[in-house]
Chains A and B, each alone.
Chain A
Amino acid sequence: MSISTAAPLARDTAELVADLVHRLSEGLDGVDAAEVAGPVVAGVWPGATETDLRSRAIEIAASLVVREPAYSRLAARLLSRHIAAEVADSGIAHFSDSVRHSHREGLLSDGVAEFVATNAAALDALIDTEADDRFGYFGLRTVYDRYLLRHPHHRGVLETPQHFFLRVACGLAESVADAAELYALMSTLSYLPSSPTLFNSGSRRSQLSSCFLLDSPRDELESIYDRYGQVARLSKYAGGIGISWSKVRSRGSLIRGTNGHSNGIVPWLRTLDSSVAAVNQGGRRKGAACVYLATWHADVEEFLELRDNTGSEDRRTHNLNLANWIPDEFMRRVEADAEWSLFDPKDVPELADTWGEEFDRHYRAAEAAGKAVRTVAARELYGRMMRTLAQTGNGWMTFADVSNRTCNQTAKPENVVHLSNLCTEILEVTSDSETAVCNLGSVNLAAHCTPDGFDFDRLAASVRTAVTFLDRTIDLSYYPTPEAEKANKKWRPIGLGLMGLADVFFTLRLPFDSPEALRLSTRISEHIALAAYETSAELAARLGAHPSYEDTRAARGVLHVDHWPDARISEPARWERVRAAVAEHGLRNSLMIAIAPTATIAAIAGSAECTEPVVTNVFKRETLSGEFIQVNRYLVADLAARGLWNEDVRQAILRAEGSIADIPGIPDDLKLLYRTAWELPQRALIDLAAGRTPFIDQSQSLNLFMASPTIGKLSSMYAYAWRSGLKTTYYLRSRPATRINQTTVSVPAQAQVPSAEAVACSLENPETCEACQ
């Protein structure tokens, strides 16, 4: 196993790849081509092909990213060549060739093929050959591994990343100019539609929507089984599912037909669990669903245990996510340390379809009438919710009353928001005959910001294009169920979100919890909302308001922002113009803004996820395509500029799991700027979210972070979130109590038994002391 035993042919090939590495390293500061080329040549093995060795070079370059972020660019350039070679192997040179091939293999629709064939020369000319260079390695790898169309049999890719972007654009375009407009946004990584659109645009079954929300089945067998069928059909085409179960009778409830007693909701959810796991989304990712249960439902305690690791497997659902749909009355009783009554929906069916004061009235009447199955201390139940969050990250806290009160769709009492979705950013009305749908996309704030400032004008332009195309997906999408099609064509909601907020803060050097960060974040959200509402009103003028416009609060002159008297408005005159335009033309879309988690598309764009702070400054990303290391490139640049980016500092950051808080020699201003999510006050995350809320007519996927959660800290935090007016929260992220020994970070030479002092500290403060983690 050395050069001497490798065939001479393989050695020549290795030299060829080494040359390529040297050529592609040009212009990359900090990259030493020999660091990659050397091991490729030295490690050549018999029979190694050019493809093998190029892959090897990519792996080596990627492994050096932790030392110097610029290696990510080199790895991406190598991968870009790799992909180009693979595409060329199928005889594809131009975009139009790619579409023709994919169409011939049955992957694309006739419509797109025809559109591209008709406009081949013009479209081929749109391809920006330099655009791949904007990718980091991980973004490009994600595109290559998961998004590019592949030959059904030999599995080679049939399009380059730029072909892919243009194909997605053509799938949504009505003209070449249209396609050019959207392609320009995508190729500059300024805006990306959500994964279902990226997967399916232009395909034969173009299901373009990200999420579906189903109302609870009615309290009868046929309705429950009908819901399973709907969930399966929606899952099959890559949709995430939110489903309420609040209307199904609780354990011990009498079943009249058989004179037996119900086993409650758990056995039904077990079936749902299996069904969700069985239907994998187009073979690409596992199905995913979140079940919402109202906090007054008598099975709520068993519901909270569904994800526990201990206890009877008969009562566990490992694939379902769980969320609490919480009325304000519950939170008020937690505050007052009062009692809370639990009901069987069969006895009090009106609770599931009401909210706010009407709900409160029904709830108190049911209590007075002695209909409660059981009564518990509100704080005891709240404590159990907190425990579930700490132990599983699940059991998301979402607030029913504010979600309904501020929703544009709930002007008429029969239209009720019953739940949020898989990622807690969608809030739309549902009913037995209407399954809410949302088509998502996110602007990448990082691409709109330079150290000189944030480009609001370009952001507005990006938003206008994004809204236009999101609106179009409603007409082009394939709907797996009639309930989904009916609802979406009636309400035409879209969910425009954002990503890369943390990149903006780093670029402009604003600590996450600074007043300037709060001001800028709020202003950006206001700006996005304004541009979106302006565009939707323009679309309404051109194409008509959405069919149910008369049923909305907007039709009554109330916009979402009006529900928030404390909103920080910076452009009042522009809001007045929007109001006038809406009054004149209506809105094309009943809802427009939702901040989704952007997990995968942020990876493609190479930016921080949605509005999140960074979890660590050095982290690996796990995806279906393996694990990747990512370094906070802003931090590295700052350290390098001050001559502090060296082996010792790098080791220290790795040892500290991506934190720089306790590393001697790093200046305080950097320590402040680069605090991780674990080190930031969570109050700041909530305040930022609350500042945005008036400009978000749906909601936002807000993760909260606590390294060592306790019930006390969590209960204070979520009560604060509720009081701050947040509609929904998402995962609680905590850290493992024990961890893998670091294999590649040097250990201090002599190990010591912890000193008596350290032990005493850990015994007194087991939750906060580092010694216990």
Chain B
Amino acid sequence: MTLLDPGMDLTLRPMRYPDFYEQYRAAIRNTWTVEEVDLASDLADLAKFTDAERHLINRLVAFFATGDTIVANNLVLNLYKHVNSPEGRLYLSRQLFEEAVHVQFYLTLLDTYLPDPEDRAKAFAAVEHIPSIKEKADFCFRWIDSIDRLDALRSREDRKAFLLNLICFAACIEGLFFYGAFAYVYWLRSRGLLDGLATGTNWVFRDESCHMNFAFSVVDVVRREEPELFDDALTESVSRMLDEAVACELQFAEDLIGSGLPGMTVPDMKSYLEYVADQRLARLGMPTRYGAKNPFGFMALQDVQELTNFFERRPTAYQVAVSGTVDLDEDF
């Protein structure tokens, strides 16, 4: 039996994919709640924003308002159905919870940043009315719909279609659209702005990284089990898909930053997105495409350990589940 064989496997012992189970457990250990994020200081920053910065943040909030809900929908409609492993589904259940927390976080953010009920409604309507956001949403919907008709993955073509959906959500949506959005947040943070948003984003970022890793490990398993699916046509499709995603995110960038803000320009954003897209291709074992460099020094900050000043911020590093019993003679 392979991972994508149709069915509702219930067997956890012996466990076929212990790595999925370990990822599930690691995710549990990193539980956070929206109530821990303090957005109060952000309001003071927002009051000082220039028109250009205000435009950027409003668009960003509008994107965040619906982004995670779309991901959650695909998870329920497509991934959970076809990943036929109970331990894999355990992880997906956990991921669904995390998506819910993200939705709640961005809702809280929106309610905090936009006091006017009409503005709030407008932010949610952005997927319909704001072209730069609609284009991204349409891209997502197209890939959700692409396997909508499949109730089981019977043929090779079905499985390839599923892989493309999975890779799209991991590499393009969580792995590129969100990474684009996070870059704006960290750019603001590098200027000492919107600390609350950045704190929550740290946690969202950590979760999204794990979601992406899980999806890629599903791809790895399928590659091991059914290497014949990974033909040139698939590589070609992925490559084209990433191209489209980069273009999609780039037109969003043009809307957000227009002729540029200090340290954040469209050409830099383009290099960054291409750089990230190359990383995704490399992770998938596919030839990289752009050869771009990361121009954002502040993103390098996300790669290094956090040294929280405990007077100012809550550390993001504590674990939730701890095991063992009292013992006074253990080595430590």
Report if A and B associate in a common complex.
yes
A393 B315 Cβ-Cβ under 8 A: yes
Q: Are B262 and A747 in contact (CB under 8 A)?
A: no
On chain A, the residues within 8 Å of B323 by CB distance are 710-711, 767
Q: Tally A residues with Cβ within 8 Å of B.
A: 103
CA of A285 to CA of B311 in the docked complex: distance in angstroms? Answer: 8
A702 to chain B, nearest CB (A): 14
Interface string of A690-732 (1 = CB under 8 A from B): 0000000000000000101111111111011000000000010
Cβ contact of B309, chosen from A393, A599, A744, A749, cutoff 8 A:
A599
Q: A387-B322, A738-B210, A749-B285 are in contact. Are A622 and B306 (CB under 8 A)?
A: yes
A747 to B280, CA, bound (A): 9
CB of B60 within 8 Å of the partner chain: no
- The residues of B that contact A654 with a CB separation of less than 8 Å are 303-304
Chain B window 14-44, contacts with chain A (Cβ cutoff 8 Å), 1 for yes, 0 for no: 0000110010011111111101101000000
Q: Are B22 and A715 in contact (CB under 8 A)?
A: no
State the total of A-B contacts with C-beta under 8 angstroms: 261
Report how far A386 CA is from B325 CA in the complex, Å.
Answer: 10
Bound: A751/B285 CA distance, A = 6
Which residues does chain A contribute within 8 Å of B268, judged by CB atoms? Answer: 43
- Is B326 within 8 A of A736, CB to CB? no
Answer whether A741 and B317 are a contact pair too, CB < 8 Å, given A379-B326, A626-B192.
no
**Neighbouring B residues of A681 by C-beta, 8 Å:** 332
Task: Tell me which residues across on chain B come within 8 A of A390, comparing CB atoms.
Answer: 318-319, 322
What is the minimal beta-carbon distance from A58 to any residue of chain B, in angstroms? 10
* A residues near B33, Cβ cutoff 8 Å: 309
Indicate whether B93 reaches chain A with its CB closer than 8 angstroms: no
A480 to chain B, nearest CB (A): 19
Q: Separation in Å of the A51 CB from the closest CB of chain B?
A: 10
B residues 178-220 touching A (CB-CB < 8 Å): 179, 186, 189-192, 195, 202, 205-207, 209-210, 212-213, 216-217, 220
B325 A711 Cβ-Cβ under 8 A:
yes
- When C-beta atoms are compared, the residue in chain A nearest to B217 turns out to be A753
With beta carbons under 8 angstroms apart, the residue of A658, A738, A754 that contacts B304 is: A658
CA distance A616 to B279 in the complex (A): 25
Residues of B within 8 A of A762 (CB): 18, 22
Q: Once bound together, how far apart are the Cα atoms of A728 and B294, in whole Å?
A: 45
Q: How many residues of B are in contact with the other chain, CB < 8 A?
A: 86
CA distance A62 to B300 in the complex (A): 11
Any chain A CB within 8 A of the CB of B329?
yes
In contact, B30 and A286 (Cβ under 8 angstroms): no
Within 8 A of B (CB), among A588-642: 597, 599-600, 615-616, 618-629
B241 sits at the interface (CB 8 A) = no
Q: Is B313 an interface residue (CB 8 A)?
A: yes
Q: Is the CB of A66 within 8 A of B318?
A: no
Q: Are A56 and B279 in contact (CB under 8 A)?
A: no
Q: A45: nearest residue on chain B (CB-CB)?
A: B260
Chain A residues with CB below 8 A from B308, complex form:
622
CB distance from B116 to the nearest CB of A (A): 25
Quick check: is B266 within 8 A (CB to CB) of the other chain? yes
CB distance from A353 to the nearest CB of B (A): 30
Which of A620, A766, A773 is in CB contact (< 8 Å) with B306?
A620
- State whether the Cβ of A89 lies closer than 8 Å to any Cβ in chain B: no
Taking CB as reference atom, which chain B residue is nearest A42?
B267
Alpha-carbon separation in the docked complex, A745 to B303 (Å): 8
Cβ of A46 under 8 Å from chain B: yes
Beyond A715-B326, A737-B30, A745-B303, whether A763 also contacts B18 by CB under 8 A is: yes
Known: A285-B311, A621-B309, A752-B220. A737 touches B29 (CB 8 A): yes
Contact between chains at A743 and B299 (CB < 8 Å) = yes
The answer to whether A475 has its CB under 8 Å from any CB of chain B is: no
In whole Å, how far is B248's beta carbon from the nearest beta carbon of chain A? Answer: 19
Which residues from B are CB-within-8-Å of A288? Answer: 311
Chain B CB count within 10 A is highest, among A1, A59, A600, A657, for A1
**A386-B326, A738-B209, A749-B285 known; A629 and B300 CB under 8 Å?**
yes
- Measured CB to CB, the closest approach of chain B to A50, in angstroms, equals 13
Q: Find out whether the CB atom of A622 lies under 8 angstroms from the CB atom of B304.
A: no
* Shortest Cβ distance from residue A322 to the other chain B in the assembled complex, whole angstroms: 13
Q: Would you call A599 and B310 a contact (CB within 8 A)?
A: yes
CB distance from A677 to the nearest CB of B (A): 10
Which of the listed residues B36, B207, B309 has the most CB atoms from chain A within 10 Å of its own CB?
A: B309
- Which residues from A are CB-within-8-Å of B108? none
Asked if B262 and A56 make an inter-chain contact with CB atoms under 8 angstroms apart, the answer reads: yes
Shortest beta-carbon distance from B203 to chain A in Å: 9
Measured CB to CB, the closest approach of chain B to A717, in angstroms, equals 4
For residue A100, CB closer than 8 A to chain B, the reply is: no
A623 to B326, CA, bound (A): 36
A734's partner among B210, B310, B319 (CB-CB below 8 A) is B319
Given A391-B318, A772-B26, CB of A743 within 8 Å of CB of B279: yes
B2: CB under 8 A from chain A? Answer: no
Give chain A nearest CB distance to B200 CB in angstroms: 13
CB of B279, distance to nearest CB on chain A (Å): 6
Q: How far is the CA of A60 from the CA of B295 in the complex (A)?
A: 10
Whole-angstrom distance between the Cβ of A113 and the nearest chain B Cβ:
30
Min Cβ gap A66→B in Å is 6
A45 touches B265 (CB 8 A): yes
Q: Which of A59, A392, A600, A737 contacts B297 (CB 8 A)?
A: A59
Decide yes or no whether B259 CB sits under 8 A from chain A: yes
In the complex, are the beta carbons of B332 and A738 less than 8 A apart? Answer: no
Contact: B310 with A713, CB < 8 Å? no
**Cβ of A313 < 8 Å from any Cβ of B?**
yes
- Determine if A383 and B297 form an interchain contact, defined as CB atoms under 8 angstroms apart: no
Query: Min CB distance, B82 to chain A, in Å?
Result: 19
- With A627-B190, A713-B331 as known contacts, state yes or no: A658 contacts B305, CB within 8 Å: yes
Q: Is the CB of B305 within 8 A of A706?
A: no
How far does the alpha carbon of A737 sit from the alpha carbon of B262 in the complex, in Å?
36
CB-based contact A63/B297 at 8 Å: yes
Of B26, B28, B38, B311, the most chain A CB neighbours within 10 A belong to B311
B224 within 8 A of A: yes
A55-B262, A622-B312, A716-B327 known; A318 vs B220 contact (CB < 8 Å): no
A743 touches B267 (CB 8 A): no
Binding site for B on A (CB under 8 A): 1-2, 5, 43, 45-46, 48, 52, 55-56, 59-60, 62-64, 66, 145, 240, 285-286, 288, 309-310, 313, 318, 334-335, 379-380, 382-383, 386-387, 390-393, 597, 599-600, 615-616, 618-629, 654, 657-658, 681-683, 706, 708-717, 719-720, 731, 733-747, 749-754, 759, 762-763, 766-767, 771-773
For the complex with contacts A622-B313, A657-B305, A715-B327, 20 further pairs of A-B residues with Cβ separation under 8 Å are A5-B259, A285-B312, A334-B326, A619-B304, A621-B309, A626-B190, A627-B301, A658-B305, A682-B332, A710-B323, A717-B332, A737-B25, A737-B30, A738-B29, A738-B30, A740-B206, A744-B299, A767-B324, A772-B22, A773-B26
A-B contact pairs, 27 of them (CB 8 A): A1-B259, A1-B265, A45-B260, A46-B259, A55-B262, A62-B297, A379-B326, A619-B305, A624-B312, A626-B189, A657-B305, A658-B305, A712-B327, A715-B330, A719-B328, A734-B317, A737-B30, A739-B209, A740-B209, A743-B276, A744-B294, A749-B282, A751-B283, A753-B19, A759-B22, A763-B22, A771-B22
Rank and list the top 8 A-B pairs by shortest CB-CB distance, nearest first.
A63-B297, A737-B29, A711-B324, A710-B324, A741-B209, A712-B327, A390-B322, A716-B330
